[in-house]
């Protein structure tokens, strides 16, 4: 498809388990963002990639969270030892950002994570 | 620090009435301001950005640096405007987008 694709759309896991969430951005978009959205809140920034490198990971809440983008396209958000507080919708967005210009963010539909 | 504040979580207006969704921001430097919208069962999408100075679907927003505000306005609300609206800010480096908590707009027929 032409849009940002996220899988799985829903994930239910048990506390303490490991989870991976995948994002396939729009082809050619160099910038990729991960956000977390809890109920009743706006999207909360987690990490930003420009190409393969994490240009800004200051939003990751702790070292249980990690994200990669090895080939500058698909990204995976990894959560270790999940906790109930990690339950949220995880949003991915991509943009055709060049230099300091902030391009429009195109969002995926999100991955809803529920930790029991 | 809260960088984007949307004071109204819920807002209801009648069809044809004017609507204003408030947004205030806190940021040193020259931010870019945006409004994003999420219609029911759809993904979050850009509505407008301040540098474009466009009117999209009848909505406009003016950046007021003195009041650090970027309120979204429409003179005559339509039922199809019912949605969740998020004000967002991009900082100097553009690395981060800060979103407000959102305002749920309901347009009553």
Chain A closest CA to B30's CA: distance in Å?
A: 12
Task: Quote the pLDDT of residue B104.
Answer: 97
Quick one: pLDDT at residue A99?
59
What span, in angstroms and rounded, lies between the C-alpha atoms of B101 and A102? 21
| pLDDT tens, position by position, B28-55 | 777 889 999 999 989 999 999 887 778 8
Question: What is the spatial distance between Cα A1 and Cα A5, in angstroms, rounded to a whole number?
Answer: 8
CB < 8 Å from A in window 81-100 of B: 86, 90, 92-100
pLDDT tens per residue, range A4-21: 999 999 999 999 999 999
* Mean pLDDT for chain B overall: 90
Q: Whole-number mean pLDDT of chain A?
A: 92
In which residue ranges of chain B is pLDDT below 50? Answer: none
Indicate left, alpha or beta for A51 from its phi (over 0: left) and psi (-120 to 50: alpha): left
* Spatial separation of the C-alpha atoms in residues B24 and A6, rounded to whole Å: 31
Instruction: Tell me the longest C-alpha to C-alpha distance in chain B.
Output: 43
Cα–Cα distance, B33 to A59 (Å, whole number): 20
Is A82 or A58 the better-scoring residue by pLDDT?
A82
Which of A9, A45, A102 is best to mutate for the B interface (most B CBs within 10 A)?
A102
| pLDDT the model gives residue B38 | 94
Q: Is A14 on the interface with B (CB under 8 A)?
A: no
């Amino acid at each position: 498809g032409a849009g940002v694709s996220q899988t799985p759309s829903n994930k239910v896991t048990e506390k303490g388990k490991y989870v991976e969430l995948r994002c396939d951005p729009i082809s050619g978009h160099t910038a990729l963002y991960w956000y977390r959205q809890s109920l009743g809140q706006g999207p909360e920034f987690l990490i930003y990639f420009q190409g393969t490198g994490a240009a800004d990971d200051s939003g990751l809440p702790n070292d249980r969270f990690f994200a990669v983008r090895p080939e500058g396209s698909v990204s995976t958000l990894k959560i270790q030892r999940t906790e109930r507080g990690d339950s949220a919708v995880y949003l991915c967005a991509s943009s055709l950002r060049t230099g300091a210009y902030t391009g429009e963010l195109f969002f995926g539909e999100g991955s809803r994570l529920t930790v029991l | 620090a809260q960088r984007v504040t949307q004071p109204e979580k819920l807002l209801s207006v009648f069809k044809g009435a004017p609507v204003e969704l408030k947004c205030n921001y806190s940021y040193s430097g020259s931010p870019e301001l945006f409004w994003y919208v999420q219609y029911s069962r759809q993904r979050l999408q850009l509505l407008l950005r301040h540098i474009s100075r466009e009117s999209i679907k009848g909505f406009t927003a003016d950046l007021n640096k003195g009041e650090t505000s970027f309120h979204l306005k429409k003179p005559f609300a339509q039922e199809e405007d019912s949605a969740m609206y998020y004000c967002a800010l991009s900082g100097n480096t553009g690395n981060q987008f800060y979103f407000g908590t959102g305002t749920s707009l309901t347009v009553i027929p």
